[in-house]
Amino acid sequence: MEPDFKEGKHTVFPVSLVKPYFQTEEDKFPSRKKNSTPPEIVKVEDSPGPVKKIIKARKIRPNGKDQRQYLVRYKKQTADEDKCLAEYAIPDWNLHLKRFRASRRTEQSHQ
């Protein structure tokens, strides 16, 4: 069954609220230019050493997209030197994330 748009009825959205889209000229509106800075990427060879464990996780929304970051502690480093990294920037990320998620599940089951 096709909705009848000619009558102005729609089952989900009122057709009277639909407005045409006009492309804006970027030189007339310089403040509207997207100033997207990519997240900081730490290369594996730039890391201060092997990862000891992942401590916390957080979700951020750069440019309107969800991204997870993890607080990482390195071996032979203090808590002051912990870093927030995206999962792809963590060496052996799959092993460390598996351990981190398992530790969170055991913490929640003991509460």
pLDDT tens digits, one per residue of 18-47: 888 877 677 677 676 665 666 566 565 566
CATH of 42-109, one of 1.20.272, 1.20.120, 2.60.40, 2.40.50: 2.40.50
Summary mean pLDDT of the chain: 78
68 backbone dihedrals φ, ψ, rounded to 5°: -95, 140
| Residue 23: C-alpha distances to residues 20, 26, 98 (Å) | 10, 9, 46
Stretch 48-60: mean pLDDT, rounded?
89
pLDDT attached to residue 54 = 93
Read off the pLDDT band of 2 (50, 70, 90). Answer: low
pLDDT attached to residue 17 = 83
pLDDT attached to residue 98 = 92
User: Would the pTM of this model clear 0.85, i.e. be above it?
Assistant: no
* Between 3 and 51, residue with greater pLDDT: 51
Task: State whether residue 111 is helix, strand or coil.
Answer: coil
User: What is the C-alpha to C-alpha distance for residues 42 and 29, in angstroms, rounded to an integer?
Assistant: 34
Question: Domain locations in the chain?
Answer: 42-109
Cα 89 to chain centroid distance, Å, stands at 13
Q: Considering the chain, what percentage of its residues have pLDDT values greater than 90?
A: 20
Query: How many CA atoms lie within 13 Å of 58's alpha carbon, on the beta-carbon side?
Result: 9
User: What is the C-alpha to C-alpha distance for residues 60 and 2, in angstroms, rounded to an integer?
Assistant: 40
| Residue 79: C-alpha distances to residues 6, 31, 72, 75 (Å) | 64, 40, 9, 10
User: What is the C-alpha to C-alpha distance for residues 85 and 58, in angstroms, rounded to an integer?
Assistant: 10
